[in-house]
Amino acid sequence: MSTPLTLSFDVACSVDHAFEVWTSGIGSWWPSDHTVTGQGDLVVVLQSGVGGRIFERTSDGVEHDWGEVTVWKPPTQVTYLWHLRRDRADATEVEIRFIARGDSAARVEIEHRGWERLGEAGEQWREQNLAGWQTLLPHYQGAIAKGDH
């Protein structure tokens, strides 16, 4: 069984704002080089609630599914199946927890798991996703610092 990826960091905002920027504000910070098409003018959407879709929509209206929300507990947790650039049957799972650290600080804890579902390719995908998280998270942290949502 592969070890889950775990990442955590603090952000200078309320837990409510951290959750909102990650979920409804995802389109403001998600970079195009972490998408299916790589198009600069696409829209990234994370629909609220269990069953909500995560997808990109290109300027010509084509949608590419990335995942599906499985746990929705605002403002403390969102969990989703994740299959960006993969078949849905090969989805891994991402759990994100937002923990209040006072009125104007929050801890974001991420656990990305389920690599064993990918068989022999699981460890390679785990390593690629680790690199992906390391280049993705500064965009989220930058949106928080700018006050985006």
**pLDDT one-digit tens code per residue, 81-121:** 999 888 899 999 999 999 999 889 999 999 999 999 999 99
* Rounded Cα distance, 53 and 47, in Å: 5
Query: 122-146 vs 15-22: helix axis angle to the nearest 10?
Result: 120
pLDDT digits (tens, 9 = 90+) for 10-67: 999 999 999 999 999 999 999 999 999 999 899 999 999 999 999 999 999 999 999 9
pTM for this predicted structure: 0.94
Distances (CA, A) of 31 to 42, 63, 70, 103, 132: 10, 16, 23, 29, 11
Spell out the domains of the chain, with CATH numbers in brackets.
5-146 (3.30.530.20)
